Amino acid sequence: MRIAIINGPNLNLLGKRETDIYGNMPFEKYLQELRVLFPAVDFHYYQSNVEGELINELQKVGYDYDGIVLNAAGYTHTSVAIGDAVAAIKAPVVEVHISNVHSREDFRKLSHVSGKSAGSIFGLGLKGYEFAIRWLVDRA
């Protein structure tokens, strides 16, 4: 099965960005662990700091892939257009946030993605991606 992981702005800085909140591991390194954990999954990884590029990628994979794990990062809280893209596509989307967005600033409590997603995971660190993939694998 094919699963796309799409990460939004500043997640290319994982491992060196606010490590007290986001941890010390670069995402590419964590992706190697995911590939070992899920050998039967064909992973496609995409990261962009640009809102429109994230929408283009959602549209690109959203009709062919078996599932999408989306961390839209800061755009989660601002982007109606990313929420619309999630609603438009056919593949189930699991929203993931590394940090607990509900225990931080109030503006992080709003998500334009949650209501359009199959489910959401937040506050469990990078493990949230693993749990999201496990759910997508089990439902296939």
Footprint of ligand DQA on this chain (CB under 6 A)? 10, 71, 73-74, 76, 97-99, 101, 108
Least Cβ distance, residue 39 to ligand DQA (angstroms):
26
Least Cβ distance, residue 6 to ligand DQA (angstroms):
12
CA–CA gap between residue 84 and residue 26 (Å, rounded): 29
Handedness of CA 55, 98, 110, 104 (dihedral sign): negative
- Give yes or no: 129 in active site: no
Q: Which is nearer to ligand DQA, 1 or 74 (CB)?
A: 74
Least Cβ distance, residue 99 to ligand DQA (angstroms):
3
Catalytic residue among 65, 75, 97, 129: 97
The catalytic residue positions are: 22, 97
